[in-house]
């Protein structure tokens, strides 16, 4: 309840500051002017179509990156090459995701699906892989040894000891990369892809349609906030089922 009240208060303060700024400058549309766009059918259809394209690209790229990062990390641990792979994963993860966009344009051209999806994969996979490898390296040897002495082997050892500890590392990274994936796809659409929310944002900016631009950015922000909230709920339930707590 306290968190909800704090979030509501922060949102009210943001709207108040926005409203005050719109009164001070004729170039800043009021919150009401932006909200009325939701009742403009033609505009809403355009935005929803663009939103569907951005969501498709972001979700496909994110899921591929998440699954591949976890799978590669587990395979590296099983093959005992995690220690050698971790520095490489950290190095690639340190590359700003937007930096991949011009490289991908040079490699594959302006493809409306492959380019943003590949950028999303390159955004999400290396950090997830790094967290999996770091989580495996940080396992308590004594905890693993006790489990082995009690007869835990193979999949049972992974399910009861390794995976719960990995979840503690993966979920925070998964939430962070969900945000970065949407930002990366949005940026790719702004720079190179002639469709999606990013493309709409650039078009409205070029035409000085500020209210429509703010609506698009607000929609992106609301989506990212909703994704983080959903992943947080999933995190709490998964970790609670493993007897682990989540610090909020």
Query: Following DSSP, what letter does each residue of 65-134 receive, concatenated?
Result: HHHHHHHHHHHHHHTT-HHHHHHHHHHHHTS-GGGHHHHHHHHH-S-TTHHHHHHHHHHHHHHHHHHHHH
**Which of 63, 61, 71 has its CA nearest to residue 129?**
71
Please tell me the least confidently modeled range out of 110-119, 159-168, 212-221: 159-168
- 171 assigned to some structural domain: yes
Residue 96 has pLDDT above 60, yes or no: yes
Contacts of 83 (CB under 8 A, 6+ apart): 137
pLDDT tens across 172-226, in order? 888 889 999 999 999 999 988 999 999 999 999 999 999 999 999 999 999 998 9
Contacts of 196 (CB under 8 A, 6+ apart): 50, 53, 54, 57, 116, 185, 186, 189
**Token pair in block for residue 1:** 């309840």
Please tell me the least confidently modeled range out of 44-48, 162-166, 183-187, 215-219: 162-166
Residue 91's pLDDT band (boundaries 50, 70, 90)?
confident
Task: Look at 168 and 13; give whichever has higher pLDDT.
Answer: 13
Q: Which range marks the domain in which residue 105 is found?
A: 39-241
- 28 assigned to some structural domain: no
- 21 assigned to some structural domain: no
133, 74 contact by CB (below 8 A): no
Helix (H, G, I), strand (E, B) or coil at 139: coil
Residue 243's pLDDT band (boundaries 50, 70, 90)?
low
Q: Which pLDDT belongs to residue 145?
A: 54
Count of structural domains, the chain: 1
- 22 assigned to some structural domain: no
- 206 assigned to some structural domain: yes
* CATH (domain of 140): 1.10.3720.10
- 6 assigned to some structural domain: no
Q: Write down the pTM of the prediction.
A: 0.82
114-137 helix and 82-93 helix, angle to the nearest 10 degrees: 140
- 180 assigned to some structural domain: yes
Q: How many CA atoms lie within 13 A of 20 on its CB side?
A: 6
pLDDT tens across 119-133, in order? 999 999 999 998 888
Residue 48 has pLDDT above 60, yes or no: yes
Q: Which pLDDT belongs to residue 204?
A: 94
Residue 154 has pLDDT above 70, yes or no: no
């Amino acid at each position: 309840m306290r968190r909800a009240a704090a979030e509501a208060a922060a949102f009210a303060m943001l709207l108040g500051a926005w409203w005050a700024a719109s009164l001070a400058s004729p170039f800043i549309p009021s919150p009401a002017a932006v909200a009325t766009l939701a009742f403009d059918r033609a505009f809403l259809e355009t935005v929803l179509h663009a939103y569907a394209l951005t969501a498709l690209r972001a979700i496909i790229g994110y899921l591929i990156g998440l699954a591949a990062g976890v799978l590669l990390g587990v395979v590296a641990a099983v093959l005992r090459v995690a220690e050698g792979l971790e520095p490489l994963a950290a190095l690639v993860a340190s590359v700003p995701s937007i930096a991949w966009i011009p490289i991908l344009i040079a490699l594959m051209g302006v493809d409306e699906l492959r380019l943003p999806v590949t950028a999303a994969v390159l955004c999400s996979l290396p950090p997830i892989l790094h967290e999996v490898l770091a989580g495996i390296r940080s396992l308590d040897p004594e905890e693993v040894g006790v489990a082995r002495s009690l007869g835990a082997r193979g999949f049972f050892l992974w399910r009861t000891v390794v995976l719960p500890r990995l979840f503690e590392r993966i979920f925070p990274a998964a939430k962070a990369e969900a945000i970065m994936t949407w930002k990366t796809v949005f940026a790719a659409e702004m720079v190179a892809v002639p469709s999606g929310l990013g493309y709409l944002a650039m078009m409205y900016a070029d035409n000085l349609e500020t209210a429509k631009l703010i609506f698009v950015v607000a929609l992106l922000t609301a989506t990212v906030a909703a994704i983080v909230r959903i992943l947080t709920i999933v995190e709490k339930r998964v970790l609670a089922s493993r007897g682990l707590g989540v610090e909020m």
